Amino acid sequence: MNRDVERHKLFNRRSVMLLSGQAVLFSALVGRMYYLQVLESERYKTLAEANRINLRLLPPPRGQIVDRFGIPVASNQKNYRVLLIPEDTLDVAATLDSLGEIIALGPGERRRILRDVRRNRSFVPVTLRENLEWPEVARIEVNAPDLPGVMIDVGQSRNYPYGNDLAHVLGYVAAVSPKDLTGDPLLELPGFRIGKAGVERVHDMALRGSSGSSQVEVNAYGRVIRELERKEGQAGAEVQLSIDMELQRFTRERLGDESASVVVLDVRNGDVLTMVSSPSFDPNGFNRGLSSTEWQSLVTNPRTPLINKAISGRYAPGSTFKMCVLLAALEKGVITPRSQVFCRGYTELGDARFHCWKKHGHGLMNAQEAMVQSCDVYFYEIAKRTGIERIAAMGKRFGFGAKLEVDLPGEKAGLIPTPKWKRGALDAPWHKGETLIVGIGQGYLLVTPLQLAVMTARMANGGFAVVPRLTRSVSQDGVRMERPEDTFESLNLPPRHMEIIRNAMVYVVNSPRGTAYKSRITEPGQEMAGKTGTVQVRRISKTERETGVRKNQDLPWKERDHALFVGYAPIENPRYAISVVVEHGGGGSKAAAPIARDILVEAQRRGSAGAVIPASTPRLVDPVRASSEE
């Protein structure tokens, strides 16, 4: 009996313990359910919505670029793409075989497509080809029943309607590389393009715009069911350049196949009206993707089509630099306009002999005569009297030896040599003979075509430090942000000295004794002034000089002289300054001056800078009489 009572008590205790444990567990479960369903209900509701609704970025339309008259030079066009949805086709390889009979699919493209199919989910579209021509789109659509899973999609791609004409200024857009990633999710969108060179790169952030968004409902597998909300992004800004597109195109056609560069500036405000580097390339190729053959043809071309020679090409300025040398000599007072130097065809310094381009010499030369006939001996002498430091200082005042910051990447500063520079760069002393060589624009001296145009503009406008301007305005949502007009400081050069230079430039072109007389403009009121230059690219041996130097046309292209010309027009009330550099073109008077003449005629005909061409013929002052009157 006692044993049964004890057994019953033990059973009751165990039952109570079991029930207590169950009660505790049930309470914990109820508490957890209360926590999840009541206290954390909003959080888990949000998570569930996030699983059901996806937010996707929408790329904005890239802003267009226009010329000074509003002509679009970089815009967007429809991009027809053919896509494949792998889950909608039983055999991807067979579908690609069928598509390959309609449009070309190279082995590399095929490998890339199969790789993307393996990496992505079966319902994610894979791009097969972009930038399809309309006939290709039509053929695919006609054969759609035999191409399961294949569809046509329409997007946007960058288009450069003038192709080669403005490639070095505009640059191009290309796919985002790993080094371009900054954390901006827009850069991670498939097919997104950013500016890689030129204006496209400089103004990339403004042109890029801001992304839109799309809210789509998806199922548990991530497949899109429907679009719930769509917010379009903000299109990129419109960038207006100072370029006159028609003058730009005329200039490139005028250069033809020459390896050359041309810059035309408005002498009053620095607007870059034309900047051409030849040969050029088609920037549309970088947008669609260059083949290996196309890329090799660009990088192996000895005339370097990918380099913007106008800002990156560095050349000895030759006789075009003589104007700076003459101004430095006049400012120092080592000569007057009436001072004469006798040219017998060479001058001597110690044991060295420095030759003039005219073998038997020019005879007695004053300042303007020496400029008109480009007498080297005259400039050897005045450079020796003036000294390299003063010549270098004058060159810097006219824009040499420093970047001009023209809103383009890749600009070179050039080089104005001095004794300090040579000691630091070459660990060698400066020699007097090197000053003579700089006096005719050669030696270590290096400039860019843009710097030559700036120098000429400063000569033409009376000595004001005009700087080049390529971007006129940036417009966003109808708000136009124009670059303010610059105020240009005076170079503080005596007007009579500037007049000597300009008179000499007039006679270089318009006097029968001038080196560019055959290239003069005969239209009244449109005459140009200028200065020719010819730069040796190889050393002429003593034997060659004694027996007669071979003519440029008889030499291999790489050994021919560079041809240069700088000038401005019209002579009265100047508005256009130009520099022309023809690599290995021979003489400046034969190769460069005719190009400059034709471009300045066209610029004035078009009124590219809004200039009013005077009807009167400018008075040409005879340099001999002018120097005697001084």
Crossing angle for the helix pair 376-386 and 432-439, nearest 10 degrees? 130
Which residues contact residue 583 at a Cβ distance below 8 angstroms, ignoring those fewer than 6 apart?
258, 259, 260, 303, 309, 313, 562
* Alpha-carbon distances of 595 from 180, 538, 613, rounded to whole Å: 41, 25, 21
Give CA–CA dist 468/269, Å, rounded.
8
List where CATH 3.90.1310.10 sits in the chain.
56-241
pLDDT of residue 266: 96
- Got the DSSP string for 308-365? -HHHH--B--GGGGHHHHHHHHHHHTS--TT--EEESSEEEETTEEEE-SSTT--EEE
Q: Is the peptide bond before 570 cis (omega within 30 degrees of 0)?
A: yes
User: Topology of domain 245-294+302-471+481-629, per CATH?
Assistant: Beta-lactamase (3.40.710)
Give CA–CA dist 181/172, Å, rounded.
18
3-state secondary structure of 475: strand
Give CA–CA dist 272/577, Å, rounded.
10
| Residue whose structure tokens are 């007007």 | 495
pLDDT digits (tens, 9 = 90+) for 206-223: 999 887 766 666 665 555
Q: Is 26 exposed, middle or buried (0-12, 13-18, 19+ CB in 10 A)?
A: exposed
Hey, which residues are catalytic here?
319
Dihedrals phi, psi of 280, to nearest 5 degrees: -115, -165
Token pair of 86 as six digits: 């792998």
Token pair of 223 as six digits: 């497949």
Find the radius of gyration of the CA atoms of the chain: 36
pLDDT of residue 190: 63
Closest by CA position to 468, among listed 243, 308, 248, 306 = 243
Closest by CA position to 365, among listed 381, 349, 383, 350 = 381
pLDDT of residue 116: 79
For residue 535, list its beta bridge partners: 562
3-state secondary structure of 515: coil
DSSP designation for 271: B
3-state secondary structure of 15: helix
Give CA–CA dist 178/287, Å, rounded.
17
Closest by CA position to 356, among listed 302, 436, 422 = 436
- The segments of the chain whose pLDDT lies below 50 read 47, 49-50, 611-630
The H or E element spanning position 66 is strand 65-66
Closest by CA position to 565, among listed 519, 518, 532, 535 = 532
DSSP designation for 549: P
Closest by CA position to 540, among listed 561, 557, 510, 511 = 561
Q: Are the C-beta atoms of 458 and 466 separated by less than 8 Å?
A: yes
List where CATH 3.40.710.10 sits in the chain.
245-294+302-471+481-629
Give CA 473 to chain center in angstroms.
17
Q: Are the C-beta atoms of 88 and 124 separated by less than 8 Å?
A: no
Give CA–CA dist 453/265, Å, rounded.
7
Closest by CA position to 441, among listed 461, 428, 455, 459 = 455
For residue 447, list its beta bridge partners: 315
Closest by CA position to 104, among listed 96, 112, 93 = 96
| Residue whose structure tokens are 């909003």 | 42
Q: Is the peptide bond before 449 cis (omega within 30 degrees of 0)?
A: no
pLDDT of residue 612: 38
DSSP designation for 590: I
Question: What own/partner pairs with CB < 8 Å and gap ≥ 24 does 200-206 have?
Answer: 200/65, 200/74, 200/170, 200/171, 200/172, 200/173, 201/171, 201/409, 202/407, 202/408, 202/409, 202/471, 203/65, 203/237, 203/239, 203/471, 203/474, 206/63, 206/236, 206/237, 206/239, 206/474, 206/476
Out of 3.40.50.10860, 3.40.800.20, 3.40.440.10, 3.90.1310.10, which CATH number does the structure's domain 56-241 have?
Answer: 3.90.1310.10
Annotate 91-122 with three-state secondary structure. Answer: CHHHHHHHHHCCCCCCHHHHHHHHHHHHHCCC
Give CA–CA dist 622/413, Å, rounded.
37
